[in-house]
Amino acid sequence: MSAAELQTPILDGGIRSVNFFNGRLLTARDLSREQEANVEGNRRLGRAIGAGVAYGLEVSKPAESSAASPLITVEPGLAVNRRGQTLALNSRTDVSLVRQLNGSGGGTKIFVTCQPLQAGAYVAGAGVYLLTISPAEAPEGRALNSGVNNTSSSCATDAIVDGVQFRLLQLTVSASDLADPNHLRNRIAYQCYGVADPKRKTFETNPFGPPLDGYGIIDDLRDTCLSDCDVPLAVINWTAAGGVVFIDLWAARRPITEPSASGRWSPLINCRRESESQAMFLQFEEQLREIRENETSLNNFVASTRFDYLPPVGLLPTANVGNAPGFTYQKFFDQQAFHAPVFLESAMVNPLIDMSLNFAPLNLVNKDPIKLFNVVDGPTTRPYVLFISAYVPFQAEARFDITRWNFSNFA
pLDDT for 7 equals 86
On the question of pLDDT at 349 being above 70, the answer is: yes
Averaged pLDDT, 35-60: 93
pLDDT for 266 equals 83
Collect all residues with Cβ–Cβ distance below 8 Å to 25 and sequence separation of at least 6.
none
Q: Are the CB atoms for 182 and 305 separated by under 8 Å?
A: yes
Phi, psi (rounded to 5 degrees) for 163: -135, -160
User: Could you give the CA distance from residue 60 to residue 69 in angstroms, rounded to a whole number?
Assistant: 15
Instruction: State which of 92-106, 175-189, 385-399 shows the largest mean pLDDT.
Output: 175-189
On the question of pLDDT at 353 being above 50, the answer is: yes
pLDDT for 108 equals 39
**Crossing angle of helices 271-294 and 181-192, rounded to 10°:** 160
CA 81 to chain CA centroid, Å, is 12
Q: Are the CB atoms for 97 and 120 separated by under 8 Å?
A: no
On the question of pLDDT at 128 being above 80, the answer is: yes
What mean pLDDT value characterizes the chain? 86
Phi, psi (rounded to 5 degrees) for 275: -65, -40
Q: Three-state SS across the chain?
A: CCCCCCCCCCCCCCCCCCCCCCCCCCCHHHHHHHHHHHHHHHHHHHHHHCEEEEEECCEECCCCCCCCCCEEEECCEEEECCCCCEEEECCCEEEECCCCCCCCCCCCCECCCCCCCCCCCCCCCCEEEEEEEEEEEEEEEECCCCCCCCCCCCCCEEEEEEEEEEEEEECCCCHHHHCCHHHHHHHHHHHHCCCCCHHHHHHHHCCCCCCCCCCCCCHHHHHCCCCCCCEEEEEEEEECCCEEEEEEHHHHCCECECCCCCHHHHHHHCHHHHHHHHHHHHHHHHHHHHHHHHCCCHHHCCHHHCCCEECCEEEEEECCECCECCECHHHHCCCCCECCCEEEEHHHHHHHHHHHCCCCCEECCCCCCEEEEEEEECCEEEEEEEEEECCCCCCCCCCCCCCCHHHCCCC
pLDDT for 118 equals 44
Residue type, 336: Q
User: Could you give the CA distance from residue 164 to residue 152 in angstroms, rounded to a whole number?
Assistant: 28
Phi, psi (rounded to 5 degrees) for 44: -65, -40
User: Could you give the CA distance from residue 184 to residue 237 in angstroms, rounded to a whole number?
Assistant: 9
pLDDT for 315 equals 97
User: Which range has the worst mean pLDDT, 63-67, 142-146, 319-323, 361-365?
Assistant: 319-323
Averaged pLDDT, 309-333: 87
- Label residue 125 by pLDDT band (50, 70, 90): low
User: Could you give the CA distance from residue 57 to residue 49 in angstroms, rounded to a whole number?
Assistant: 19
pLDDT for 375 equals 92
Averaged pLDDT, 346-358: 93
Averaged pLDDT, 278-284: 97
Averaged pLDDT, 125-145: 86
Q: Residue 179, CB half-sphere, CA atoms under 13 Å: how many? A: 3
pLDDT for 5 equals 87
- Cβ of 215: how many Cβ atoms within 10 Å? 23
Q: Are the CB atoms for 270 and 262 separated by under 8 Å?
A: yes
On the question of pLDDT at 145 being above 70, the answer is: yes
On the question of pLDDT at 225 being above 80, the answer is: yes
Q: Are the CB atoms for 193 and 281 separated by under 8 Å?
A: no
Averaged pLDDT, 141-149: 71
pLDDT for 92 equals 95
User: Could you give the CA distance from residue 319 to residue 134 in angstroms, rounded to a whole number?
Assistant: 43
Collect all residues with Cβ–Cβ distance below 8 Å to 303 and sequence separation of at least 6.
310, 332, 333, 334, 336, 364
pLDDT for 117 equals 44
User: Could you give the CA distance from residue 342 to residue 349 in angstroms, rounded to a whole number?
Assistant: 13
Task: Identify the burial level of 348 via C-beta atoms within 10 angstroms of its C-beta, where 0-12 means exposed, 13-18 middle and 19 or more buried.
Answer: middle
Q: Are the CB atoms for 308 and 364 separated by under 8 Å?
A: yes
- Label residue 155 by pLDDT band (50, 70, 90): confident
Strand pairing report for 313-317 and 59-60: unpaired
On the question of pLDDT at 396 being above 90, the answer is: no
Q: Mind listing the pLDDT tens digit for each residue in 16-30?
A: 898 988 999 999 899
User: Could you give the CA distance from residue 165 to residue 227 in angstroms, rounded to a whole number?
Assistant: 13
Query: How far, in Å, are 135, 136, 165, 169, 239 from residue 87 at the CA level?
Result: 6, 9, 9, 18, 29
Averaged pLDDT, 79-84: 95
Phi, psi (rounded to 5 degrees) for 344: -135, 130
pLDDT for 322 equals 62
Averaged pLDDT, 124-131: 79
